[in-house]
Amino acid sequence: MNARQLSIASFNLYNLNRPGQAVYTDRDGWSAEEYARKIAWTARQLSVMQSDVFGFQELWHAQAITDALALAGLADEYDLLVPPGTEGQKIVCAALVRKGMLVEDPEWIADFPPGFILQSRGDDPQTPQISVSIAGYSRPVLHFGIRPRSKEPVVHVYVCHFKSKGPTKVYNEAWYRADRALYAKHSTGLGAAISTIRRTAEAAALRFLLSEQMKGSDTPVIVLGDLNDGQHSNTLNVLSEQPRYLLGDARGGGDTALYTAQTLQEYRDTRDVYYTHVHQGMRESLDHILVSQEFYDHSRKRRWLFDGLSINNDHLNADDHKADGTNDHGVIRAVFKFSPAKD
């Protein structure tokens, strides 16, 4: 394969499960009618946003995405990457990869990497000791390799779904029940802090893994998914290492840096209208595509040139996603064209 263009999409499927199967505490799940609308809408998105790679979040049942793929008439065009036993009992990350591109078997990374530690005595005598103990990701990270061009290195793709901003429910914890009068008024703040700490740890653990892979190796990497935080959040800062942009043609690039497609697009637009989620009237960018220096326009080691970002998000104006089969996240798509930097 010698593709001249590479397109990558991130698609939160909004609890895509088979009808009648439980979704969280909703024991009845989707009705047959709701499921049919949901599959029809999902199939339209696959058709409209046709990409070489789709990274999915919130998939519960493998048959559900198979149904959408068949309805879109695209079943013969893609390899479907879903972990074995995905039959409606838990949420997974999954992917579609255009036939002929997949070169490494997928793996789902549940545990944080060996040697990963979040512990410190503090930078000065005034700072108390900190120790965070988390063993793995809320949703296992999907990792696989693609080769868009036969003579180019394998591109490593990571599909993620980090912990949400929603406050962790602490009312069932033993310490909470032991002193409900004290903790009841603090449950929201404590729950939000726990969610933030968990999401930060997930970003740091993936950063640890990426740095091990990328440092000194010129390994092309794409990270995409529902990261549940904004472009300039600490979550994205940890994951991207906050690289510099706009350094002139083929003069920049960072060995372990990741560049957000949102920022790359903003430098080409006259205004920022990027959002992928709406909560209580607030428009946020929670879904991201991040790329290594091999996909960054101004990198000395550029192999692929950014060619635009598109977002399907009009459906976020709907209040009842069950009624029309839509999702609660926008679908994002980034395109790159093969254009190595000149020596």
- 288-299: b (≥16 Cβ within 10 Å) or e: bbbbbbbbbbbb
Question: Burial code of 162-193, b = ≥16 C-beta within 10 A, e = fewer?
Answer: bbebebbebeeeeebeeeeeebeeebeeebee
Q: Tell which residue, 132, 184, 191, 143, has the closest CA to residue 163.
A: 191
Tokens of 57: 């979040």
| pLDDT at res. 53 | 98
| Total Cβ atoms within 10 A of residue 160 | 27
SS3 of the chain: helix, strand, coil, percent, to 5: 25, 35, 40
User: Where do the domains of the chain lie?
Assistant: 5-112+141-165+220-338
Confirm if 192 and 164 have CB atoms less than 8 A apart.
no
In this prediction, residue 21 carries a pLDDT of 95
Radius of gyration of the chain (CA): 21
**Which of 221, 57, 250 minimizes the C-alpha distance to 146?**
221
- Please state, in angstroms and rounded to a whole number, the distance separating the CA atoms of residues 253 and 256: 9
Domain 5-112+141-165+220-338 of CATH type 3.60.10.10: yes
For residue 265, what are its two tokens?
């697009």
Helix H or strand E segment including 81? strand 78-81
Residue 196's φ and ψ, nearest 5 degrees, are -65, -45
Q: What is the C-alpha separation between 259 and 298, in angstroms, rounded?
A: 11
What is the pLDDT, as a whole number, of residue 233? 92
Checking DSSP bridges between strand 155-161 and strand 221-226, what pairing results, if any? parallel
Residue ranges in the chain modelled with pLDDT below 70: 247-251, 270-273, 280-281
pTM of the model: 0.94
What's the pLDDT score for residue 191?
97
Q: What pLDDT score does 132 carry?
A: 94
118-120 and 282-284: which strand pairing? unpaired
Dist CA 341 CA 298 (whole Å): 8
